[in-house]
Structure 1
Amino acid sequence: MPWTPPERPDWVRAINEGRIPPIAEQARRPLERDALVGEAAARLGLDARSAAGRIRALGRPGFESEPVVENLDRLLQALEDEADLHATGRWLTRRFLLRLLEVRFQILAWLDADPGVVDEEIAVPLFVAGAPRTGTTILHALLAADPRHRVPLGWELLRPVPPPTATQAGEAEDPRIALADRELVAPQTVVSGLSAIHEYGGRKPKECLSAMSFAFQSEEFTARYDVPSYARWLEASDMMPAYAMHRLVLQLLQRRTGPAAWVLKSPVHLHSLPTLLATYRDARIAVTHRDPLVLLASLTSLIASLRFAHSERVDPQAIARGHVERYAATFDQLVDWADSGALPAERTHHSHFRDFQRDALGIVRGLYAGFGIGPDEEAERAMRSVLESERSEGPGRHAYDPLPAAALAPADRSRFDRYRTRFAVPSEA
């Protein structure tokens, strides 16, 4: 799988060569749980010893057994032993982990003061749950343009405490917006061209996995880092604690703004639809489909670029092989869930990337009709504006090398036949 790493910016090379002493000193520190917990607690003015004892609990029924410490330890071990982080990568990762721990402490403190958060009802949420690179981001953006909907923004998912007020939810200035913006944009400054693959920002709609990361059980880590032991554990784990955390974050976000018609998105949901439906029993699911050979090529390019922001060692061939295995199994599961009724047909909408390219608003109208969401002229005008903006101001075309059929053994290519047949997925060869 060809992939050419982009040129490093001068400032990244300077950090990696140890020429910026304050950052070099931070990068040399081990990623060790007690030290990170203590530093996060100190930033918030908390006693490190008592904070370390409370990091596990979140003061809500069902969280007493949440294995957060074990999850964190497993991740930290993999980062140290396997990820081969360069100095910039270690510096960014340390800041990332400290933010997760700080916010976890803030969530705990808010629940202590306001235990009624856990009674907030998340009613009839709509999840966009296609595989990566199948149009999930633009579909989510169109649904977000409907003023009847609410989507979590980058700053809200990264820093949900204190819960936003109605004014803040409307994007009034809040210092957390700038903090989130800097964190989300950082990888795009480390790796040129990343914004053409996927654009991030504090005011942009954000994927659900950022909420799951507070449980340290999230594909956000396996996307950024080559951590095979953590990835194997994550794929085999019960994802209920991560979804419980996801639900808690949404409850916090709507605590001071009132009930919301949430529209949520992440490709990770495709792997765990039964767990999602057990957490949100009235959820509606929009599944997007695309030729696996094309989506896997684009996904490989994205993951390689994300990992290059943190490490010099990037193996696009291994990334491609790993995602062939992962998505062949996931697509087989999807067929099984659809055929068995585990994925309820009346609460699921399927669409194809090629059809979306031809008539995006037609896809949205079909989704609305299927889910009983009435048409709205204001919403459609806003969606047209989003599409026009994408055409005129988009970050640029994502250039990547296609994954030709010859790159896969015939037995591997045939593993996607059942999925393609069941959902009538056209070839883009």
Structure 2
Amino acid sequence: MTASGLPPRPDWVRAVNDGRVDPLVEDAVAPFRRDTLLDQARVQTGLADFGADDFLEPLDLLLADLEAHARLTRVGRWQTHRYLLRLLRQRLLVAEYVKRDPGVRDERIEEPLFVVGAPRTGTSILHALLAQDPAHRVPEGWELLLPVPPPSPDPEVFAADPRIAVADAELRVFDRVSGALDAIHVYGARLPKECLSAQSFAFRSQEFPARYHVPNYTAWLLGCDMGPAYEYHKTVLQILQRGFPRGRRWVLKSPAHLHTLPDLLRTYPDARIAVTHRDPITVLGSVSSLIATLRWVHSDDVGFAAIGKYHEDLYAGDLDRLVDFDASGQSTAMVHGQYADFLRAPLDTVRAMYEGLGMTLAPAAEERMRTYLAGRPKDKHGVHSYSFDDLGLDRAHADARFDRYRTHFAVPRATQ
């Protein structure tokens, strides 16, 4: 471990960042300029129409913060240029696809199921278990990164799509650069993916603060209208659904939806919501470790205390609003599960969630879930070590901020 508590990077990454190896990549030193990036995306696709221009304001804020505050390494700048250009190319391709096939707008996204809850509360394992149900459609990493053209409904053609390798190279680079991300969260093209990646095309997404220290963009994001992000999210699902038989329910997941439940329900008024719960004191240590590692992929300047404080404030507000939302009775299609119950009896917990949402867990789906759990040994990719005490926060103050949430949802208090 380094002095900061983060793992040492692989030798090849240090060699590039130190200037000992010249990767001959102009993007490693090129400035982030909006017009240059837009022109590059146009040239690479041969297209010109990005659709609505409501993405330009957040893009400008993001680019300014990347230059002024993110303190990117050479590898980090190179990765970020590639990331931004992928988002812009896909905007062009989406706009072109909708023009050529306007009927895609008539695709109905019926009663989607959203898994929400603070990070590190069991959302990923619940999402993965729900993906085992043949009645569900869970977007894979490559679909959310590269949705155009729609994937083939033929399983063999779907599995052989050349975009899988392209997306996998982008997603696997996080562990390659950090040397330790897999022990916290595994990313891959054929794995279920958080659907906030679909909102990133609108440049209104928590994906950016997760990767970079971008304070002005983040402040804007937390107060902006998320309607355009959810509309883009819906467009991506409509494209991915095009040509597939009807009847399968979309199952989506992201802790970021906690902050924007009203926006989500305006776009998907018939949505069903499954919320996972865990003591926020434990969550803060775990999620801050994850975010620090993601930022370590891009920057040498990673501040645990600032990351921890940001998430304490974010989730104190989000979880209070969740209490208000639940107490108001605004949504009857919402169920809750405790992280401790997932550890003790995962299938019983999932079964109870199905029943609470008026859904049927078929025996074949339950058996597939059982098989998935049996093939997923704990700590397969290493041990994730984290502690609230790493954050330099006042434990008593932070603990008190979550008392109302713990009481309302009967969340067990962390033992340490």
The two structures share one fold, judged by TM-score above 0.5 = yes
Could you say which residue in structure 2 is the equivalent of 1:291? 279
Secondary structure at the aligned position of 1:350 is classed as strand
Q: Are residues 414 and 206 of structure 1, via their aligned partners in 2, closer, same or farther at CA, if it must alter by over 3 Å? A: same
How far 1:406 moved relative to its partner? 9.0
Q: Are residue 229 (structure 1) and residue 216 (structure 2) matched?
A: yes
Could you say which residue in structure 1 is the equivalent of 2:387? 401
Could you say which residue in structure 2 is the equivalent of 1:333? 321
Q: Are residue 418 (structure 1) and residue 413 (structure 2) matched?
A: no
Q: Are residue 80 (structure 1) and residue 67 (structure 2) matched?
A: yes
Q: Are residue 38 (structure 1) and residue 26 (structure 2) matched?
A: no
Q: Are residues 320 and 284 of structure 1, via their aligned partners in 2, closer, same or farther at CA, if it must alter by over 3 Å? A: same
Q: Are residues 131 and 170 of structure 1, via their aligned partners in 2, closer, same or farther at CA, if it must alter by over 3 Å? A: farther
Distance 1:428 1:405 in 2: 16
Q: Are residue 252 (structure 1) and residue 253 (structure 2) matched?
A: no
Distance 1:227 1:392 in 2: 34
How far 1:401 moved relative to its partner? 2.5
How far 1:375 moved relative to its partner? 2.7
For residue 353 of structure 1, the aligned residue among 331, 334, 339 is 339
For residue 320 of structure 1, the aligned residue among 303, 308, 331 is 308
Structure 1 contact 213–242 (Cα < 8 Å) conserved: yes
- Bigger mean CA deviation after superposition, 325-334 or 22-31: 22-31
Could you say which residue in structure 2 is the equivalent of 1:60? none
Structure 1 contact 293–403 (Cα < 8 Å) conserved: no
Q: Are residues 282 and 366 of structure 1, via their aligned partners in 2, closer, same or farther at CA, if it must alter by over 3 Å? A: same
TM-score (norm 1): 0.93
Q: Are residues 407 and 80 of structure 1, via their aligned partners in 2, closer, same or farther at CA, if it must alter by over 3 Å? A: closer
Q: Are residue 367 (structure 1) and residue 353 (structure 2) matched?
A: yes
> Cα RMSD (Å) of the superposition?
1.7
Distance 1:192 1:33 in 2: 32
Could you say which residue in structure 1 is the equivalent of 2:108? 121
1:215-254 CA distance string (max 9 Å, x none): 0110000000011111111111111111111000000000
How far 1:296 moved relative to its partner? 0.7
Give the residue type in structure 2 aligned to 1:181: D
Distance 1:340 1:404 in 2: 36
Q: Which runs of 5+ in 1 are unaligned?
A: 58-63
Structure 2 contact 16–74 (Cα < 8 Å) conserved: yes
Identity of aligned residues (%): 51
Structure 1 contact 3–401 (Cα < 8 Å) conserved: no
Distance 1:77 1:86 in 2: 16
Could you say which residue in structure 2 is the equivalent of 1:135? 122
Structure 1 contact 296–403 (Cα < 8 Å) conserved: no
Secondary structure at the aligned position of 1:128 is classed as strand
1:98-247 to 2 correspondences below 5 Å: 98-167=85-154, 171-247=158-234
Distance 1:398 1:208 in 2: 24
In the alignment of these two chains, the number of paired residues is 412
1:137-183 CA distance string (max 9 Å, x none): 00000000011111000000000000011025874211100000000
Distance 1:416 1:261 in 2: 34
Could you say which residue in structure 1 is the equivalent of 2:57? 70
Distance 1:115 1:314 in 2: 45
Give the residue type in structure 1 aligned to 2:46: G
How far 1:397 moved relative to its partner? 2.8
Q: Which runs of 5+ in 2 are unaligned?
A: none
Give the residue type in structure 2 aligned to 1:35: T
Distance 1:405 1:69 in 2: 34
1:335-392 CA distance string (max 9 Å, x none): 11111223x1x20001110011100000111011111212311101110111111126
Distance 1:289 1:256 in 2: 37
How far 1:69 moved relative to its partner? 1.1
Distance 1:153 1:317 in 2: 33
TM-score (norm 2): 0.95
Q: Are residues 339 and 273 of structure 1, via their aligned partners in 2, closer, same or farther at CA, if it must alter by over 3 Å? A: same
